[in-house]
A and B are shown apart, each in its own frame.
Chain A
Amino acid sequence: MNRLLRSLGPVMTTVIVLLSGVWVVGMIIAPQLIMVEQSFWTKDRSGDAVVISVRIDRLYNEIDVLRFDKTDAEALAPSPRRDAKIAGIEAIIADKQVAIADLEARETTPEKVYSLRNYTIMGQAHLAVFVKTILASVAVTLIAFVVCYPMAYAVAKLATPGKAAIIMLGLIIPYAINELLRVFAWLMILNHNGVANYLLGLIGVGPVPFLESGAGVFVAMVYAYILFMVFPIYNTIETLDTAQIEAARDLGAPTWQIHRRVVMPHAKPGIAVGCIMTFMLSAGSYAVPYIMTRGTAEPWFTQLIYNKFFESSNWNTGSAYAFTLLVACIVFVFLVMRMFNVNIKDIAK
Chain B
Amino acid sequence: MRGMDIELDNVSIEFGDFTAVSPTDLKIKAGEFFSILGPSGCGKTTILRVISGFLNPTTGEIRIGGEPMTGVGPHKRPTAMIFQNLALFPLMPVWENVAFGLEMRGWAKARRRDKAFELLDLVALGDQAEKMPDELSGGQRQRVAVARALAVEPAVLLLDEPLSALDLKLRQHMRSELRDIQRRTGVTFIYITHDQGEALTMSDRIAVMRAGVIEQVDTPDLVYDAPATAFAATFVGANNVFRGHIASHDGDMAVVETKHGALRGRNPRQVAVGGAVFLFVRPEKMRVLSAAGGKENSIDVTFERRDLEGPFVNLFFRREDDVFSAHLVNAGAMAHDPPARMGICFDPRDGMILPVGDMADE
Q: Are A248 and B74 in contact (CB under 8 A)?
A: no
Cβ-based interface call for B279 (8 A):
no
Interface stretch (choices B85-93, B264-272, B352-360): B85-93
A257 and B91 contacting across the interface, CB-CB below 8 Å: no
Q: Return chain B residues, CB-CB under 8 Å to A246.
A: 54, 74, 81, 83, 87
| A189 sits at the interface (CB 8 A) | no
User: B105 on the interface (CB 8 Å rule)?
Assistant: yes
Does A243 reach chain B (CB closer than 8 Å)?
Answer: yes
Residues of chain B from 57 to 79 with CB closer than 8 A to chain A in the complex: 73-75, 79
How many chain A residues touch the partner (CB < 8 A)?
17
User: Does B84 touch A at the CB level, under 8 Å?
Assistant: yes
Q: B87 near A251 (CB under 8 angstroms)?
A: no
Interface string of A316-338 (1 = CB under 8 A from B): 00000000000000000000000
Nearest B residue to A241 via CB reads B87
- Point out the residues of chain B lying under 8 angstroms from A196, CB to CB: none
Q: Are B81 and A252 in contact (CB under 8 A)?
A: no
Residues of B within 8 A of A262 (CB): 89
Would A261 and B100 count as touching, CB distance under 8 A?
yes
Contact B100 A251 (CB under 8 A): yes
A244 touches B87 (CB 8 A): yes
Contact of B152 among A244, A249, A252, A254 (CB under 8 A): A252
Contact B105 A252 (CB under 8 A): yes
Partner of B80, one of A241, A251, A254: A251
- B81 and A250 contacting across the interface, CB-CB below 8 Å: yes
Check if B52 is an interface residue, CB within 8 A of chain A.
yes
Chain A residues, Cβ within 8 Å of B91: 265-266
Q: How far is the CA of A244 from the CA of B90 in the complex (A)?
A: 9
Q: Which chain A residues numbered 246 to 272 have a C-beta less than 8 Å away from chain B?
A: 246-254, 257, 261-262, 265-266
B residues in contact with A244, CB < 8 Å: 87, 89
A5 CA / B52 CA spacing, docked (Å) = 57
Do A249 and B74 touch (CB < 8 A)?
yes
A261 and B89 in contact, given A246-B74, A251-B148 (Cβ under 8 angstroms): yes
- A42-88 with Cβ < 8 A to chain B: none
Q: Which positions 230-251 of chain A face chain B at CB distance < 8 Å?
A: 241, 243-244, 246-251
**Residue ID in chain A nearest B106 by CB atoms:** A252
How far, in whole Å, are A253 and B148 apart by their CA atoms in the complex? 13
Task: State the majority secondary structure of interface residues on A.
Answer: helix
How many residues on B have C-beta within 8 angstroms of the other chain's C-beta atoms?
24
With both chains docked as a complex, state the minimum distance between the C-beta of A62 and any C-beta of chain B, in angstroms: 83
Q: Do B81 and A248 have beta carbons less than 8 Å apart?
A: no
B74: A residues at CB distance < 8 A? 246, 249-250
Please report which residues of chain B, range 146-170, place their CB below 8 angstroms from some CB of chain A when the two chains form the complex: 148-149, 151-152
B101 within 8 A of A: yes
Q: A251-B152, A265-B91 in contact; A243/B84 too (CB < 8 A)?
A: yes
Of all chain A residues, the one with the shortest Cβ separation from B148 is: A251
Q: Say whether B81 contacts A247, CB under 8 Å.
A: yes
* Contact between chains at B85 and A251 (CB < 8 Å): no
The contact string, 1 if C-beta is below 8 Å from chain B, for chain A 3-42, is: 0000000000000000000000000000000000000000
CB of A132, distance to nearest CB on chain B (Å)? 37
Q: Is B104 an interface residue, CB under 8 A from the partner?
A: yes
CB distance from B86 to the nearest CB of A (A): 8
Within 8 A of A (CB), among B97-124: 100-101, 103-105
> Which residues does chain A contribute within 8 Å of B85, judged by CB atoms?
241, 243
A251: nearest chain-B partner, CB-CB: B101
B318 → A minimal CB distance (Å): 47
Q: Decide: A250 and B100 in contact? CB cutoff 8 A.
A: no
> With a CB–CB cut-off of 8 A, which chain B residues contact A257?
104
Given A249-B75, A254-B104, A257-B104, answer yes or no on A243-B83 (Cβ-Cβ < 8 Å). yes
- Asked if A251 contacts B83 (CB within 8 A), the reply is no
Q: A261–B73 Cα gap in the complex (Å)?
A: 20
Query: Taking the nearest CB of chain B, how far is it from the CB of A202, in angstroms?
Result: 42
Q: Which residue on chain B has the smallest CB distance to residue A242? A: B87
Centre residue among A246, A249, A251, A254 by max chain B CB count within 10 A: A251
Q: Which residue of A lies closest to B85 (CB)?
A: A243
Pair B75/A252 contact, Cβ less than 8 Å? yes
8 Å CB contacts to A: which residues of B244-284?
A: none
Please give me the residue from chain A that is nearest to B101 by CB atom: A251
Residues of A within 8 A of B151 (CB): 251
Chain A hits for B92, CB < 8 A: 261
Central interface residue in A241, A247, A248, by most chain B CB within 10 Å: A247
The CA of A253 and the CA of B149, in the complex, are separated in Å by 13
Among candidates A243, A252, A265, residue contacting B104 with C-beta atoms closer than 8 Å: A252
* Closest 9 A/B residue pairs (Cβ): A251-B101, A243-B87, A247-B87, A252-B104, A252-B75, A243-B83, A253-B104, A265-B91, A244-B87
**With contacts A248-B104, A251-B151 known, what are 20 further pairs, Cβ within 8 A?**
A241-B85, A243-B83, A243-B84, A243-B87, A244-B89, A247-B83, A248-B89, A249-B74, A249-B75, A250-B52, A250-B81, A251-B75, A251-B104, A251-B149, A252-B101, A252-B105, A261-B92, A261-B100, A262-B89, A266-B91
A-B contact pairs, 11 of them (CB 8 A): A243-B83, A248-B100, A248-B104, A250-B74, A250-B79, A251-B100, A252-B75, A253-B100, A261-B89, A261-B100, A265-B91
